[in-house]
Amino acid sequence: HLDGYGRGALREREAAGVIMQWAEEVTIGHGLASVELARNLQQARAGGYDLVGIDWLALEIKRHENLQVSQWWKQAVRQAGPGQIPLLMYRQNRTPWRFRVTLTAAHYAPCGHSGTSRLTVDMDAEQTKAWFQHELWVRLTGKS
């Protein structure tokens, strides 16, 4: 039997494993620093996101049968620090992880209407992996 704290720790370790595997695919063989994620032990006392170790990312992890994605997203955004990208990672039992993040998207149009927009998107694991690995590569190497 696990109490809520135990389940939370298992959920966060599972999520950290996914993100660290994605990061390892970027860092291994390129001489880049490895990524280590850990539970945010201050979260219960001070509030804050669930996993620490990637300075630019505020990871909020939810695994619950009753999805409350809008509420969880508000929490993730509220807990992100200055310059951090909030990333909500959530799932129900027996379903794959889903992710929500706000991206900056460039758009090009005739007549000078080009620009950027902030879009909040929900993605599956493969889409999120591609976004995360590109973002990590850019931040570790300065190359896009």
Give the whole-angstrom CA distance, residue 32 versus residue 37: 16
pLDDT tens, position by position, 42-94: 554 445 667 778 889 988 989 889 999 999 999 999 989 899 999 999 999 89
> Which neighbouring-strand residues pair with 104?
118
52, 40 Cβ separation under 8 angstroms: yes
40, 49 Cβ separation under 8 angstroms: yes
Give every CB contact of residue 123 below 8 A, 6+ residues apart in sequence. Answer: 98, 99, 100, 101, 131
SS3 of residue 85 by DSSP: strand
pLDDT tens, position by position, 98-144: 999 999 888 887 777 778 888 999 999 999 999 999 999 998 888 87
